[in-house]
Amino acid sequence: MSTLGLKETHFSFPGQTAFYKGKVRDVYSFSDKLVMIATDRISAFDVVMPKPIPFKGQVLNQIAAKFLSETLDIVPNWMLDSPDPNVTVGLKAEPFKVEMVIRGYISGHAWREYKAGKRILCGEKLPEGLRESDPFPTPIITPSTKADEGHDEDISKEEIISKGIVSKEDYEKLEFYTKALYKRGAETAAKNGLILVDTKYEFGKIGNEIYLIDEVHTPDSSRYFYLDGYQERQEKGETQRQLSKEFVRQWLIENGFQGKEGQKIPVMSEEFIETISARYIELYEKVTGEKFVKADYSAIEQRISSAIIDYLKIK
């Protein structure tokens, strides 16, 4: 069995209207549906690495599918089915031009801003005396908006509404859904010995109804700490143990790469690729509380194509 990883797809389905290649996902559009294939590509510092990581796409797709199914009682979502371990088929929605970021703990971007002296983030007042990885008194929503070019930008609720990016009525619904989803995600994480530190949700509209779109509570959209030892580490001022692909970034930094101009991507050995693959499988099992079952890679493209054709009833 070959497990070289699924680097990219080049399908051409009858009825297909568009194709988009993201950093990790290949997206095929049809008149009223999207087919999203999670490949084994891995990115760091906004750069896609040359070699894929076997089973990474399956891990992300199956985590997202599980949590989309388990949050349907909170908000409708775009997913119709997952006909293959690497594939999700769903409804097309008109995306809101904001990402709903919610933070239960101060880490990452929020901590960097706080450390630099800021006490207001996206219109939210931050209390004095916080240390890195401390919990907020209550979770805060720090939305970001995507510019046509460049990086995501922090934005406040007031700006979103005053600029007409999202109506007041819709934004209040997005806030409600974001808080409810985070609460559910934090409860699920705690059952599996984890802390859901922060995460982001994307929403869209189909007609007048709001839908949750994209992925939910995956390691690519969320930050997790290990619950065991969290308190002791905070008391000692130690760095928290994260469940993320941070170790890949650290390896790249140690090998002279941070995505800057003129830097060469270091070659990942087969052994290191196997290590990354094993870590993603560990992520899956820890986040879901379920055993990971490796899909058959012997004819992965044929497997995926057949599953999509069967699902869409394309002959």
- N residues, the chain: 315
Given this model, what pLDDT does residue 148 score?
54
Options 3.30.2320.50, 3.40.50.1440, 3.30.470.20, 1.20.1070.10; CATH of 95-243: 3.30.470.20
- Res. 147 pLDDT band, cuts 50 70 90: low
What 3 state SS string does the chain have?
CCCCCCCCCCCCCCCCCEEEECCCEEEEECCCEEEEEECCCCEECCEECCCCCCCHHHHHHHHHHHHHHHCCCCCCECEEEEEECCEEEEECCEECCEEEEEEEECCHHHHHHHHCCCCEECCEECCCCCCCCCEEEEEEECCEEECCCCCEEECCHHHHHHCCCCCHHHHHHHHHHHHHHHHHHHHHHHHCCEEEEEEEEEEEEECCEEEEECCCCCCCCEEEEECCCHHHHHHHCCCCCEECCHHHHHHHHHCCCCCCCCCCCCCCCHHHHHHHHHHHHHHHHHHHCCCCCCCCCCCHHHHHHHHHHHHHCCC
pLDDT single digits (tens) 55-76: 999 999 999 999 999 999 999 9
pLDDT band at 151 (very low <50, low <70, confident <90, very high): low
Q: Which residues contact 265 (CB under 8 A, 6 or more apart)?
A: 47, 49, 50, 252, 257
Distances (CA, A) of 214 to 64, 201, 270: 8, 8, 31
pLDDT confidence of residue 245: 80
**What's the pTM?**
0.90
From the list 9, 1, 28, 6, the residue with the least C-alpha distance to 17 is: 28
160: pLDDT confidence band, cut at 50, 70 and 90? very high
The label of the residue with tokens 């007041």 reads 168
Average pLDDT over residues 148-161: 82
Residue 272 has a pLDDT of 94
Domain ranges of the chain: 18-94+269-312, 95-243
Predicted local distance difference test score (pLDDT) of residue 315: 47
pLDDT band per the 50, 70, 90 thresholds, residue 140: very high
pLDDT digits (tens, 9 = 90+) for 216-234: 999 888 999 999 999 999 9
> Is residue 149 scored above 80 in pLDDT?
no
- The residue type at 288: T
- What's the CATH architecture for 18-94+269-312? 2-Layer Sandwich (3.30)
| Mean pLDDT of all residues belonging to the chain | 93
Are residues 213 and 78 in contact, defined by beta-carbon separation less than 8 angstroms?
A: yes
Q: Other C-beta atoms within 10 Å of 242: how many?
A: 18
Q: How far is CA 177 from the centre of its chain?
A: 17
100-117 residue pLDDT tens: 999 999 998 899 999 999
* Residue 28: how many other CB atoms lie within 10 Å: 23
